[in-house]
């Protein structure tokens, strides 16, 4: 179901983009429940989510995300960079987080349709791109530590420049601290889960 926004925002200057702070007009939204399975995918105006304060995504980090990009080539065509590998990892992450599985090709088609709807948000630039953030969260309103019976899968888009301020092709300095570990044997480092990232912020302070 496609019901795009009728109120369109002004597109930002691609040379002044700060990573992940500007968002497009629309989003992909799909609900899931154990009893009914996946609902009909919707492309609709970007809006806040309305969730119960007890959902497992908020209390136990039962959630995951992916990071993909769409680029506008010098020929004007829009291309996604190896999106099927992202779908593969997203499905593995869902299994590890006890979130519902999904049809990878169908989800990719939905994402491609969203990018098509938002094609004017793909920067006309060789140094900027449209960042694609698929996200899957457990939404069962329960404080029990268990596999969720409800979930929401949504995709938001953000035009971005280089992640690091030094630019896309300039070297950066990295600091490794053996005191802090993000991945360990038997853990979730192989998956793209929010908890892996949130716990790393302390070491960056």
Catalytic residue from among 69, 77, 104, 192: 192
Would you tell me how many other CB atoms lie within 10 Å of the CB of residue 175? Answer: 6
- Would you call 135 helix, strand, or coil by DSSP? strand
Q: Taking Cα atoms as reference points, which of 53, 152, 50 lies closest to residue 100?
A: 152
Helix locations, 43-165, DSSP H: 56-60, 83-96, 104-117
Catalytic site residue 179? no
Q: What is the dihedral of CA 53, 58, 59, 65, to 10 degrees?
A: 160
Q: Are residues 72 and 125 in contact, defined by beta-carbon separation less than 8 angstroms?
A: yes
Q: What DSSP letter does each residue of 162-205 carry, written as one string?
A: -SSTT-SSS-------TT--S--TTSSTTS--HHHHHTTTGGG-
Rounded CA separation 204/37 (Å): 40
Catalytic residues: 192
């Amino acid at each position: 179901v496609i019901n795009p926004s009728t109120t369109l925002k002004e597109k930002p200057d691609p040379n002044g983009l700060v990573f992940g702070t500007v968002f497009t007009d629309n989003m992909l939204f799909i609900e899931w429940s154990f009893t009914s399975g996946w609902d009909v995918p919707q492309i609709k105006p970007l809006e806040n989510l309305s969730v119960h304060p007890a959902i497992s995504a908020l209390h136990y980090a039962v959630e995951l995300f992916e990071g993909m990009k769409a680029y506008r080539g010098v020929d004007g065509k829009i291309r996604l960079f190896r999106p099927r590998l992202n779908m593969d990892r997203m499905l593995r992450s869902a299994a590890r987080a006890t979130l519902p599985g999904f049809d990878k090709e169908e989800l990719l088609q939905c994402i491609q349709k969203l990018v098509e709807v938002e094609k004017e948000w793909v920067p006309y630039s060789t140094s900027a791109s449209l960042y694609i953030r698929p996200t899957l969260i457990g939404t069962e309103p329960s404080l029990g530590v268990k596999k969720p019976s409800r979930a929401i899968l949504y995709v938001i888009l953000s035009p971005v420049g280089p992640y690091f301020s030094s630019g896309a092709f300039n070297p950066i300095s990295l600091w490794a601290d053996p005191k802090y570990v993000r991945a360990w044997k038997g853990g979730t480092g192989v998956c793209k889960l929010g908890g892996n990232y949130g716990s790393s912020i302390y070491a960056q302070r």
